[in-house]
Amino acid sequence: QVQLVESGGGLVQAGGSLRLSCAASGRTFRSMGWFRQAPGKEREFVVAISWSGSTTNYADSVKGRFTISRDNAKNTVYLQMNSLKPEDTAVYYCAASIALTVGYPGPARYDYWGQGTQVTVSS
């Protein structure tokens, strides 16, 4: 069965760092990425990566601060978040797509989703 299991969320002060992990099982995915959703807002694209890692796409709001990576031997994707800001506070969701959708940030392009992990950044 396909399953995405997320971990690494928590509470951090502004300027701090967190690393999120998403372990996939059941199959491999051509594209994987992260979305986030704050209360009262729509789900927002954060970043995506191709299977090889050669292609990435970052939202402007996180460029220079967040880094996505993959360990295909473990079928796991990571999100290193540095210089966190209060506006980064949200539930972060891991997403996976059978198709190569790195350049298409809409959530409807993704086939599978993790349960979400809360990231809270205090000022």
Q: Residue range 20-25: average pLDDT?
A: 96
At residue 48, does pLDDT exceed 90? yes
Q: Is 32 exposed, middle or buried (0-12, 13-18, 19+ CB in 10 A)?
A: buried
Position 76 confidence tier, pLDDT thresholds 50, 70, 90: very high
Look up residue 112 and give its two tokens.
Answer: 């599978």
d(Cα 90, Cα 54) in Å, to the nearest integer? Answer: 27
At residue 14, does pLDDT exceed 90? yes
Position 60 confidence tier, pLDDT thresholds 50, 70, 90: very high
Cα 74 from chain centroid (whole Å): 16
Position 15 confidence tier, pLDDT thresholds 50, 70, 90: very high
Residue 49 near residue 77 (C-beta atoms within 8 A): yes
**What is the structure's pLDDT at 85?**
98
